[in-house]
């Protein structure tokens, strides 16, 4: 399939600097959103190291003898998930090491949501509460699971999803890249169909818009390249409480 992509990041209305980073590598068909944390210097540094390291490691893997980008007939035989996992783990170590070497960066970390397309197979690696969505016609489905305190509370039946939206703990994540030397990375894969849209975003978008609003805007934007800006504009109209980053990837026959 042909892949068309677009991405954009914005500081939002309440912050004075942007700690998000994103990567669009159409050659590798690799796409990453990272939402940094750890103060003015730390957050932006962590997210930047994450996207740069993941891109470098996936390129290195492609050029190795055990190239994971070689096509496989089914998902379970694919090597890309483990390559993505390793790339995020190396990003984690790189961020942690940088923080140990510079006291100004102490405690920094980042979320990561990454996507690789190979033929009709789409793979994800995920840490934190940045999200991946699949939009297929009238369906929108969150593919990633938030590593956040409120999501743990929802799963335990302590609060409802509606209560989570207004919880004072909604920005607390339970897993991040670089805060510790190692991290557990979730990986997954799906089979795509023509016209599928995959959307990666930081919580600056997900916290401001309902899933159905995201789906409707994607479907009703005539020029696909305009989708990230329109989503960001809507999040800013709602208050723009955080940095906002969006990547959209469309599968075309």
Residue 40, pLDDT above cutoff 80: no
pLDDT higher than threshold 80 for residue 118: yes
Residue 99 has pLDDT above 90, yes or no: yes
Is residue 204 within 8 Å of 20, Cβ to Cβ? yes
Task: Check residue 170 and give its pLDDT.
Answer: 85
CB distance 33 to 19 below 8 Å: no
Cα dist from 224 to 10, 50, 94, 249, whole Å:
18, 27, 35, 9
Q: What pairs with residue 133 in β-bridges?
A: 142, 199
Query: Helix axis angle, 39-62 relative to 80-101, nearest 10°?
Result: 140
Query: What is the per-residue pLDDT for 175?
Result: 96
**58-98 pLDDT tens trace:** 999 999 999 999 989 999 999 999 999 999 999 999 999 99
Backbone angles phi, psi at 162, to 5 degrees: -65, -40
Give the per-residue pLDDT at 166: 84
Ranking 52-56, 126-130, 160-164, 208-212 by mean pLDDT, the lowest is 160-164
200-247, pLDDT tens digit by residue? 999 999 999 999 999 999 999 999 999 999 999 999 999 999 999 999
- Specify the CATH number for the domain of residue 127: 3.60.40.10
For the whole model, what pTM was predicted? Answer: 0.96
By residue range, what is the domain housing residue 183? 2-252
Average pLDDT score, the chain: 96
At 68 the pLDDT is 96
Give me the mean pLDDT over the 170-184 stretch: 94
**What is the structure's pLDDT at 162?**
86
How many structural domains is the chain composed of?
Answer: 1
Residue 193 pLDDT greater than 90, yes or no: yes
As a dihedral over the C-alpha atoms of residue 60, residue 64, residue 69, residue 73, rounded to 10 degrees, the angle is -160
Decide if pLDDT at 24 tops 90.
yes
Express as a percent the part of the chain with pLDDT over 90: 92
Distance between CA atoms of residues 245 and 75, nearest Å: 29
For residue 205, the tally of other CB atoms under 10 A from its CB is 27
């Amino acid at each position: 399939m042909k892949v068309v992509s677009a991405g954009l990041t914005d500081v939002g209305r309440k912050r004075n600097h942007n700690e998000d980073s994103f990567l669009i590598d159409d050659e590798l068909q690799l796409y990453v959103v990272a939402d940094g944390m750890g103060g003015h210097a730390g957050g932006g540094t962590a997210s930047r190291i994450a996207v740069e390291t993941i891109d470098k490691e996936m390129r290195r893997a492609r050029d190795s003898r055990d190239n994971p980008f070689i096509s496989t007939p089914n998902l379970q035989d694919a090597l890309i998930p483990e390559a993505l996992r390793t790339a995020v783990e190396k990003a984690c170590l790189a961020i942690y090491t940088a923080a140990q070497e510079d006291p100004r960066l102490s405690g920094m970390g980042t979320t990561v949501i990454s996507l690789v397309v190979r033929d009709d197979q789409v793979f994800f690696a995920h840490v934190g509460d940045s999200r991946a969505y699949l939009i297929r016609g009238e369906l929108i489905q969150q593919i990633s699971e938030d590593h956040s305190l409120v999501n743990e509370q929802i799963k335990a039946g302590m609060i409802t999803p509606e209560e989570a939206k207004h919880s004072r703990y909604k920005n607390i994540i339970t897993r991040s890249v670089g805060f510790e030397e190692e991290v557990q990375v979730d990986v997954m894969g799906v089979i795509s169909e023509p016209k599928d849209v995959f959307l990666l975003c930081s919580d600056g978008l997900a916290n401001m818009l309902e899933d159905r609003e995201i789906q409707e805007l994607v479907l009703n934007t005539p020029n696909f390249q305009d989708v990230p800006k329109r989503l960001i504009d809507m999040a800013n109209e709602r208050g723009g409480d955080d940095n906002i980053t969006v990547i959209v990837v469309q599968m075309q026959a």
